[in-house]
Amino acid sequence: MHNKKLYTMSYKINPHLLFLIYCSKTKLNQNEILFITNYLKDNKLSYQQIVQLAYKHGIFPIVYKTIKSLASFDKELLDTSVKFRLHYFRISKRNMLMSVELINITRLLNHHKINTLSFKGPALSQIAYGDITLRQYADIDILIRKEDRLNMINILEKEGYIPEIVLRDSTKETFFNAVNVIAFYNKSIGIRIEIHWELLSKNYAINWDENILWSNNRSIQINNNKIDILSIELHLLYICVHSAKHLYERIEWICDIDRLIKTNPNIDWIYLVKQAKEMGITRMLYLGLALSKELFELNIPKEIQNSINNDKKIPILINKIIKINYSDTIHQEKSINTLFLLLNMRENYIDKFKLLYKGIITPKFDDFLFFQLPKQIAFLYPLVRIFRLIKKYSKY
């Protein structure tokens, strides 16, 4: 294992975000502890601004835990720790509610012979952080098989769950072929549930073999209930791909990679890299690992680090991501230029073409919310998609 920094950054990380990154680490050196304590004592940001920023990056619980730990040695931090505590309890309470809802939904679907796999949310919090309260999540994500989609919708609607979109009978087939997820609301407790039948949107242009997802799963215990989840390796691949699509704009996603690997030392790296190569997402995997190493000193196996070092695009991508999301540079590049970054994250030219093509013509969930076309003229959806893209990017 190597623990040396991979690259020289072209842009300095914003001090407020550096504070959050240090607070999110599993181990702190003396310089990092000093930076955190001085930052808080010097009132670089107001208490409310720190809370807001930590919430935005999805890492408030671990920021609170770090401050609480340091406050036990430095009494000047006690007041800050106490102020943060209420927000932490609110997140903990909501996370526990969502965990109960996850158990209820999986039980309900399993009772009706619908197999489920949980990912992100409480499942990821448990396997990466060892605690369902230490990770922020806004909803519950569950994967089912494609053949169970209609049955799932009928079951949840009968139980009083409100669908995010009410599909016309003439639209369902087109919707299922184009979209990978539908959301439901439990109005009584205000929780959103996303039911997926494919792990990734078709706009990602990544083919994920359904058999691999269902044959390499595992189970965990949440509140003494067995929950089937994606395997550690597939969870890691998913995080890297999902986060790359969003240019790692939240510290949470890089922290997730770091914690997932550190908490699970028996990851099958050979299998992981094999799956990434077969899917054409090796660079996305390596980018996630390299960012986690850069910001969180993640240990990477020597063979994988050598492969990362041999990919000349990765340092360019890292510097672009740091510039856009974590530096003091004005963030002007998050527009049409984002597409070029996404294309550079794919190592194969055919996958670059597929990403560009599918990103332009494949209808997304919002396109169906915008307008539901009858099956007879569903072939016009690419035009709806192009119209909405032009409208979206014409403002830049």
Q: Between the CA of residue 319 and those of 7, 11, 237, what are the distances in Å?
A: 9, 7, 22
CATH of 15-393, one of 3.10.20.30, 3.30.230.10, 3.30.460.40, 3.30.70.20: 3.30.460.40
Q: For the whole model, what pTM was predicted? A: 0.93
What is residue 395's predicted lDDT score, i.e. its pLDDT?
58
For residues 134-151, give the mean pLDDT.
Answer: 95
Q: Residue 7 CB: number of other CB atoms within 10 A?
A: 16
Residue pair 62/19 in contact (Cβ under 8 Å)? The answer is: no
Q: At residue 261, does pLDDT exceed 90?
A: yes
Tens digits of residue pLDDT in 78-90:
999 999 999 999 9
Tens digits of residue pLDDT in 160-213:
999 999 999 989 999 998 999 999 999 889 999 999 999 999 889 998 888 899
For residues 120-139, give the mean pLDDT.
Answer: 95
Q: Between the CA of residue 208 and those of 288, 342, 379, what are the distances in Å?
A: 19, 18, 25
Q: Between the CA of residue 252 and those of 58, 212, 271, 350, what are the distances in Å?
A: 5, 27, 25, 31
Mean pLDDT of the chain: 91
Q: 339 falls in which pLDDT band (50, 70, 90)? A: confident
